[in-house]
Homo-oligomer: A and B are copies of this chain.
Amino acid sequence: MPDKLGILAGGGPLPRQIVESCRRAGREVFVVAFDGQTDPATLDGDVEHVWTRLGAAGQALKALRKAGCQDLVMAGPVRRPSFGEIRPDFTAARFLGRLGTRALGDDGLLRAVMALLEHEGFRMVGLHEVLPDVLAGAGVLGRHTPDAAAFEDIRRGLAVARALGEQDVGQAVVVQQGLVLGVEAIEGTDRLLARCGGLRRPGPGGVLVKIKKPQQDARADLPTIGERTVEGAQAAGLSGIAISAGGALMVNPEGTIKAADAAHLFLYGVERAGTARNAPDSGAA
C-alpha cells in the first residue's frame, strides 16, 4: 500500500475523483483545499483536510507534513490570482522573492511551485499515476469521425495552440474553415466556446483544439475536457473536439465520450508522432 496521498485541490470534479479512487483502493488521503478554488464537495464524508489560502504556503506545508504525506498530486484548475491578491505568508514570500518579478504564465508558476515542493522533500506524482484511464487516448475516441475539412481545421488549430503554448498562454483554440474564431487566454475554455458560437461563419464545421503546452510538465495542470466542454462545443455549433492523446485529461471519460456521441461531435486524440490512422500532419502537432 503506498503512503498517504496529499492532494492539492484546485477547482472542478477531479480532486473528488482522486479521493474516491483512493478510497476504493484503500489509500489514505489528505486534501489541501484552497479558499475560493476547491469545490467543498471534494471533502464530503469525513475527508481529512485543511482549508487555506493560496498565499499561505507555510501553513499548507506544515499541514501536509503533520498528516504524514510524502506523495503529492495537484489536480483541478486554479484560478490564478494577481500578485496583489496572494497576500503571501513567510514561506510564500520567500518563494515569490526567489521567482523575482519575471512575468510568469500559468505553467511557469506551476513548475516553480512543484520545484519548491520537491525541494521541501515531497514527491510530486502525476494525475495519471493516481487516476488511471483519465488521460485521453489516441485517434477516434467516440462514435463520430472527423472529415477532411475537420482535419484541416485541427491542423491549423494545433499550429496556433502550439505557438500560444510556447508563450505559456492558454491551451485552446477554435477554428472553422481555416478561420481562427477564438483563442483562449485566462477566461477558460467554457467562455471561449460561449463567445465562438456567435462568431461562427455560415456553413458546417468548426473544431475545438485543446492541447498540452510543449514544455508542460505532466504533473502540472493538464488541459482537461469533460461533459461540460462537450455541451459548450455543441452549443457553439462545432463538429468536434481534438485533444492531446496522452497529454490531456478527460473528466469522467466514459460520460464524456457518451455525451459527445449523443451530440454528434467527434472526439479525437492527436498524437505528437502523428501515427494514428487519419492523423493530421504531425509536423503541425
Contact = CB atoms under 8 A, between A and B. Distances in A.
A161 to B, nearest CB: 9
Contacts of A201: 81-82, 84-85
A169 B152 contact: no
Interface stretch (A11-19, A52-60, A62-70, A100-108): A100-108
Contacts of A85: 201-203
Contacts of A101: 152
A186 B182 contact: yes
Contacts of A180: 105, 167, 169-170, 185-186
A106 B203 CA distance: 18
Interface string A185-228: 11100010001000101110000000000000000000000000
A160 B173 CA distance: 15
A212 B6 CA distance: 47
A83 B104 CA distance: 39
A80 B169 CA distance: 25
A166 B180 CA distance: 13
Contacts of A183: 164, 169-170, 183-185
Contact of A82 (B104, B167, B203): B203
A163 B183 CA distance: 13
A182 B186 CA distance: 7
A213 to B, nearest CB: 12
A202 B163 contact: no
Contact of A177 (B83, B155, B176): B83
B199 A82 contact: no
A281 to B, nearest CB: 12
Contacts of A159: 167
Contact of A155 (B103, B105, B178): B103
A181 interface: yes
Contact of A167 (B102, B105, B160): B160
A152 B155 CA distance: 33
Contacts of A82: 176-177, 179, 201-203
A153 interface: yes
A203 B152 contact: no
A26 B18 CA distance: 75
| 6 nearest A-B residue pairs (beta carbon) | A103-B178, A82-B201, A84-B203, A183-B183, A103-B156, A169-B180
6 contacts: A82-B201, A85-B203, A163-B166, A179-B186, A180-B185, A183-B185
